[in-house]
Amino acid sequence: MKKSLIILMMSLMLDVALAGKVLRFSRKIEDPARVFSLQEEDSNLAQKRVRRYFVVQFKNMATEELKKELNASGIEILQYIPDDAFIVFGELGTIEELSAGPEIEKVVPFVPSWKIGSGFGPMSVFNRSESIPIVLKTFHTDELDRLVESIPTHSLEYASGHYLVANVSHEQVLQLANAEGVHWIQPYHTMSLAVESFTPMDQPVNENKGLCEELSGMESGTQIMNFESAWAKDLTGRGQTVTVADTGLDLGKVSDLPLDFRNVTKGFIFGFMNSDWGDRNGHGTHVSGSVAANGSFCDGKLKGGAFEANLMMEGMFSEMRQSLTVPAKFSDLFEPAFSEGSRIHTNSWGDNFSVGIYDGGSFQVDQFMWEHPDFLILFAAGNLGLDVDGDGRIDPGSVTSPGTAKNALTVGASENLVLRGGSQRKLGQIKDKWRVEPIASDTISNNPDGIAAFSSRGPTNDGRTKPDVVAPGTNILSNASHMPDAGTLWGRFNEDFNYSGGTSMSTPLVAGGAAILRQYLIEFLKIEPSAALIKAILMITATEMYPGQFGEVGAAKGQEILTARPNGVEGYGRANMASATDLTDFKLIDERLGVQQGGELSYDFESKSGSLKALLLYTDAPADPNVELSLVNDLDLQVRDPSGQVHKLEDRINNGELIEINDRPAGIYHIVVKGIKIPQGKEGFQPFALVVSE
């Protein structure tokens, strides 16, 4: 600890004690000065010229002018921290001068403990030398380069840009957190496929020789989402490119793919030590079929939602490791897809050890979408739905990262209607934590108004609504990989198709829906849409599923969905492609510049019926993974109805606000979007999408 810094700290601690304002880091530091006083001392005045990291908290949210002044004095503003604070990088001397300013609440060093993710358990004498894999991000690339030099080669797994993965001891985690420039560190986990694994015990029907004529037409899941209505308008995904990051696709060579996948344009190899993107697991082929298989195999009876879209596969299954090897730096996945013109990226996997929390993975997804606002990234919500407390209702709080990201379109699973094939067992026979009625005697694909028991429920730990939408994800029949020994998931139908289930299966159906919607907006409505607009339309046009498959029997008796949408079970409801591609009476605002802090934009909408639905949705700036609230920029929606009554939510948690109004007078509704706080805007502005209908 430098002496000058200690003096600064001591004078500041007085302020901390008196101030009512808090820094909302997840890890509370009772006394930052005490943490720092444990370190070496140095009274060298030259230290004032050394640049260091601090957290600067303002009395009120900093204005753009004030932020520009700080920039001009050499202080780099890096990351918003609630409330009204930023991690900054600047010379100690300049920071000292700044701290005396009237706008400043307090200035404290960026404490190492604030960089350490909640996924690390407590350190003890028993585990301090135990080796664990970690992923770490620095603020600047030169800081990563220096860290790489300090880590033994055999411990280092990956290093690129701002990210590294290494195997270190618990003690070394603390040392790394002490290194200048480290933004966050968290445990590095192997990602899991979001497929339910309970069914291989079920007996397949037809001895794996199923015939297409035997099918009801519901098996692909597209019918429940009303894809036929969009297809009838010649909306097939044509001209759109969807990228699937998964276990690979069929034989893994564009020229060798079956007719069903002749729209595949390219594959990328991400499987550790793999030499192709062939699918030895079966999952990636099934998922790809739901996005865009063209139906060649079964006379069009089984095809993807966007069966004329182009498809690219990013194969991430490592044969050597027998697991997914997702790049630690997610932009390695997103950037190649973006460069090839793909604007929809779908992911049926997640971190089963990072549940409900906004972690580094969520941060990376949000950051890429913030920097590429037309690039829609979908994530499966996860399959961790259990009734642990035994009240006959699946418990809340089980959405996996990166599905916890604010900007991702996070997809949960509803039930398909398939009464034969795949898994038909009673749920109580499958899992211990599904043994209380009405779940126990239910089956997984008998009621399309039901939510799949396994589908991960929201909200996130910081109270945000997730998933965003649901789609059929049980007993979905889709393409099989023709690789020798490829897995058969929930059972084989015939050599070309397997049954499967999971939020893994729901997500690609919505990705196909996004491709069709994108085509509709571009070709019919002449809008080049942002990802936020596509997501908002899919959400507001979704079918409300309240109260779910068990009816309105009351919370005490195990009702499935307790409140109208949006909620943590169905999100905004089941994606509906008929209503998503019928927007002629809607008002669609894709506001690319956006609002400023303290500013507002307003719109008028005429409602003949005296009812109105308005959804404000925006791609928010990435949040620090170690804070309590992950909302950064806060916009509010207000509607004044013709009688003068004002409807508002003043939501301080979500980056989406839905206002639904019924039984009010017909006439002009005045809609206002307000910039409440915009700490991390684009030149001070927050872009947004606004979708309004009767």
Interface positions with Ca ion (CB under 5 A): 387, 389, 391, 393, 395, 442, 446-447, 450, 634, 636, 651
What is the nearest approach in angstroms of Ca ion to the Cβ of residue 222? 19
User: What three-state secondary structure class fits 258?
Assistant: coil
Positive or negative: CA dihedral 652, 529, 518, 606: positive
What torsion do the CA atoms of 360, 569, 545, 646 make, to the nearest 10 degrees?
Answer: -70
Cβ proximity to Ca ion: between 390 and 665 the closer is 390
Cβ proximity to Ca ion: between 230 and 629 the closer is 629
What is the nearest approach in angstroms of Ca ion to the Cβ of residue 158? 37
Q: Which amino acid is at 496?
A: D
Contact 457, 399 (CB under 8 A): yes
CA distances from 598 to 63, 345, 602, 678, 685 (A): 10, 34, 13, 9, 11
- What is d(CA 434, CA 388) in angstroms, rounded to the nearest whole number? 8
CA distances from 52 to 34, 49, 110, 165, 174 (A): 18, 9, 9, 24, 18
Beta 497-500 vs 492-494: how paired, if at all? antiparallel
- What is d(CA 533, CA 618) in angstroms, rounded to the nearest whole number? 8
Q: Which pair of tokens denotes residue 447? A: 């009621």
Cβ proximity to Ca ion: between 157 and 395 the closer is 395
What is the nearest approach in angstroms of Ca ion to the Cβ of residue 681? 14
Beta 104-109 vs 612-617: how paired, if at all? unpaired
What is the nearest approach in angstroms of Ca ion to the Cβ of residue 661? 18
What is the nearest approach in angstroms of Ca ion to the Cβ of residue 391? 4
What is the nearest approach in angstroms of Ca ion to the Cβ of residue 413? 11
Which residues touch 673 (CB under 8 Å, ≥6 apart)? 591, 595, 600, 601, 602, 603, 616, 635, 636, 637, 688, 690
CA distances from 579 to 234, 445, 506, 584, 610 (A): 15, 24, 18, 10, 20
Residue 153: DSSP 8-state: G
DSSP string, 181-239: TEEEEEE----EE------TTSPPGGGG---GGG--S-TTSTTTTTHHHHHTTT-S-TT
Contact 208, 493 (CB under 8 A): yes
What is the nearest approach in angstroms of Ca ion to the Cβ of residue 635? 5
Residue at token pair 């429940």: 224
Cβ proximity to Ca ion: between 435 and 682 the closer is 435
Cβ proximity to Ca ion: between 295 and 438 the closer is 438
What is the nearest approach in angstroms of Ca ion to the Cβ of residue 452? 8
Q: Which pair of tokens denotes residue 232? A: 């009838």
Cβ proximity to Ca ion: between 291 and 532 the closer is 532
Cβ proximity to Ca ion: between 189 and 457 the closer is 457
What is the nearest approach in angstroms of Ca ion to the Cβ of residue 23? 21
- What is d(CA 23, CA 605) in angstroms, rounded to the nearest whole number? 40
Least Cα distance to 631 among 619, 641, 647 occurs for 619
CA distances from 322 to 115, 121, 283, 319, 571 (A): 32, 27, 13, 5, 33
Cβ proximity to Ca ion: between 143 and 391 the closer is 391
Give the sheet arrangement for strand 667-677, strand by strand.
600-607, 667-677, 634-640, 646-648
Cβ proximity to Ca ion: between 380 and 617 the closer is 617
What is the nearest approach in angstroms of Ca ion to the Cβ of residue 557? 12
Q: Which pair of tokens denotes residue 234? A: 């010649």
Cβ proximity to Ca ion: between 290 and 686 the closer is 686
What is the nearest approach in angstroms of Ca ion to the Cβ of residue 77? 22
User: What three-state secondary structure class fits 349?
Assistant: strand
Give the sheet arrangement for strand 492-494, strand by strand.
476-479, 497-500, 492-494
What is the nearest approach in angstroms of Ca ion to the Cβ of residue 348? 22
What is the nearest approach in angstroms of Ca ion to the Cβ of residue 418? 11
For 559, the enclosing helix (H) or strand (E) is none
What is the nearest approach in angstroms of Ca ion to the Cβ of residue 560? 9
Cβ proximity to Ca ion: between 606 and 650 the closer is 650
Give the sheet arrangement for strand 192-193, strand by strand.
192-193, 349-355, 400-401
Cβ proximity to Ca ion: between 289 and 622 the closer is 622
What is the nearest approach in angstroms of Ca ion to the Cβ of residue 657? 6
Cβ proximity to Ca ion: between 329 and 677 the closer is 677
Q: Which residues pair with 108 in a beta bridge?
A: 55
Phi/psi at 662 (nearest 5 deg)? -130, 160
Which residues touch 122 (CB under 8 Å, ≥6 apart)? none
What is the nearest approach in angstroms of Ca ion to the Cβ of residue 271? 36
Cβ proximity to Ca ion: between 249 and 629 the closer is 629
- What is d(CA 107, CA 54) in angstroms, rounded to the nearest whole number? 7
482 burial class (0-12, 13-18, 19+ CB within 10 angstroms)?
middle
Cβ proximity to Ca ion: between 456 and 607 the closer is 456
- What is d(CA 177, CA 454) in angstroms, rounded to the nearest whole number? 37
What is the nearest approach in angstroms of Ca ion to the Cβ of residue 663? 25
Q: Which residues pair with 145 in a beta bridge?
A: none
